[in-house]
């Protein structure tokens, strides 16, 4: 059964500077390990002159695959902090690569951990997060005379309407959170006094805004 999960809103990057070292965190949605590796290679090629290209990724809705690399930084000071940010924010199917251009001032183990962690969380906040929820398609067919009543209900309750078809009747194609399909259908039938045809369609993931820091 499909389940809701959090992921980044879009691919992107953000940069922070700490004691003259530049930390660039690049983020991408990746649904397979092959996609994650390809993205890491892309960033390594782009920043081939960088001192380090450290990374971490989480693949699978149950985090089946978790990988990290310090890429030359002291053990445990880069890859693990990046991975921990992804885990703590409960993000799935995300790869983060933090590129470091060394500025000449050593940060020490604690400073490196904070730098890689902050670079990652800063980039995630910059690109944003979405919640992917499972919704089911429903087709609601009513007469033209009843359409105004149904339309008002859908608009007032912010129901996700993907299409409206005007033929001999009016059909509104909506998406409803799958666990709420039964109660939503009952509400619509009651609202329209039974003068509505409801046809259930496919499930799909739909992205909804998510506020990371509430």
The string of pLDDT tens digits covering residues 181-191 is: 999 999 999 99
135, burial (CB in 10 Å: exposed 0-12, middle 13-18, buried 19+)? buried
> CATH for 5-127, among 1.20.210.10, 3.20.20.60, 3.30.230.30, 3.30.1330.90?
3.30.230.30
Q: Rounded to whole angstroms, how far apart are CA atoms 8 and 123? A: 10
As a whole number of Å, the CA-based R_g of the chain is 23
Query: Do residues 141 and 169 make contact, with C-beta atoms less than 8 angstroms apart?
Result: yes
pLDDT of residue 207: 87
At residue 154, the 3 state secondary structure works out as helix
What is the value of pTM for the model shown? 0.80
Asked if 164 and 193 count as a contact pair (C-beta separation under 8 A), the reply is no
Q: Block means of pLDDT (10 residues each) for the chain, length 214 residues? A: 88 95 97 97 96 96 94 95 96 97 91 96 96 94 95 93 94 93 96 95 87 62
The predicted structure's pLDDT at residue 37: 97
List, as one string, the DSSP characters of 50-83.
SSEEEEEEEESTT--EEEEE-TTSSTTSSHHHHH
> Rounded to whole angstroms, how far apart are CA atoms 44 and 51?
11
Ordered by start, the domain boundaries in the chain are 5-127, 134-205
Distance CA 93, CA 91 (A): 7
The CATH classification number of 134-205 equals 3.30.70.240
In terms of Cα–Cα distance, which of 177, 173, 184 is closest to 208?
Answer: 177
Tell me the C-alpha distance between 85 and 6, whole Å. 13
Residue 42 confidence (pLDDT): 97
Confidence (pLDDT) at 143: 95
């Amino acid at each position: 059964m499909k389940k809701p999960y959090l992921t980044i809103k879009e691919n992107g990057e953000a940069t922070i500077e700490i004691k003259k070292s530049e930390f660039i965190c690049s983020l991408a949605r990746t649904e397979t390990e092959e996609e994650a590796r390809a993205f890491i290679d892309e960033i390594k090629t782009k920043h081939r002159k960088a001192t380090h290209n450290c990374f971490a990724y989480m693949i699978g809705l149950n985090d089946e695959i978790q990988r990290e690399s310090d890429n030359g930084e002291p053990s445990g000071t880069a890859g693990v902090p990046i991975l921990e940010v992804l885990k703590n924010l409960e993000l799935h199917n995300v790869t983060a690569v933090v590129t470091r251009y060394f500025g000449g001032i050593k940060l020490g183990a604690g400073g490196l951990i904070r730098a890689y962690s902050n670079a990652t969380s800063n980039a995630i906040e910059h690109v944003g997060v979405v919640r992917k929820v499972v919704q089911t398609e429903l087709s609601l067919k009513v007469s033209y005379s009843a359409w105004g009543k149904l339309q008002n209900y859908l608009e007032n309750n912010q129901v996700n309407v993907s299409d409206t078809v005007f033929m001999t009747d009016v059909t509104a194609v909506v998406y409803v959170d799958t666990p709420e399909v039964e109660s939503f259908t009952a509400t619509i039938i009651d609202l329209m006094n039974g003068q509505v045809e409801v046809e259930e369609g496919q499930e799909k993931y739909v992205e909804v805004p998510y506020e990371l820091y509430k």
